[in-house]
Amino acid sequence: MAMLMTGVGVHGIYLIPFFGGAVIPKTAYRCEGRLGFIALMGPGFSLIPTLGLFAMYQTTGKIELLEAAQMFAIINAANLLPIYPLDGGLILNALVGSVNRTFAVIMGWIGVLIGLGLAIYFQSFLIGIPFLLFALQRYLSGHRTIALEPLSLKGGIALALASIATMILYATVIRGVISHV
């Protein structure tokens, strides 16, 4: 939906078992603002069912609704962590890339390495797979990046604040969920 709203278009949507999904753009992003906005909208739009399930739990007391709200909140909060290639990492990359593209590439590699480190720490092949694939993709691309139009100061502040607000909402649901268990 966010890609269509920004005029980027959708080339394909791919569901990846145990990981979620990936949407391939039809055209280039052209600016860091579009990239950041589109990355934020995955977890942003997911606030709707998360908050809806939590509100339904509060009115009905049904534990299944609580568990579903918790699942949505934890998954989307994790997706907002500033680790590339997660949506939070893409947002951070858009913000940093608006200031210094080389540093954004370095931050991307750091994110991939953190993800691989988490996979090793948790001894999880499932966590490691996407990070291995992105490491391979980054390596094969030879560090080539597309020069995107940087965010304006106002745009960067708006993107950062929207990301923080979205994370706070998920944390509030998680905290509310945990206090009700």
* Integer angstrom CA distances of residue 25 from 8, 28, 52, 63: 6, 7, 29, 38
Per-residue confidence (pLDDT) for residue 130, from 0 to 100: 82
The residue whose two tokens read 């890609």 is 3
Q: pLDDT tens for the chain, 181 residues: list them.
A: 888 888 888 888 887 666 667 788 888 888 999 999 999 999 999 999 999 999 999 899 998 998 899 899 999 999 999 998 889 999 999 999 999 988 988 998 999 999 999 999 999 988 888 889 888 888 887 766 677 899 999 999 999 999 999 999 999 888 875 555 5
Rounded-to-integer distance, Cα 69 and Cα 81, Å: 19
Per-residue confidence (pLDDT) for residue 7, from 0 to 100: 86
| Exposure letters 89-124 (e unless 16+ CB within 10 A, then b) | bbbbbbbbbbeebeebbebbeebbebbbeebeeeee
Per-residue confidence (pLDDT) for residue 181, from 0 to 100: 53
Per-residue confidence (pLDDT) for residue 105, from 0 to 100: 87
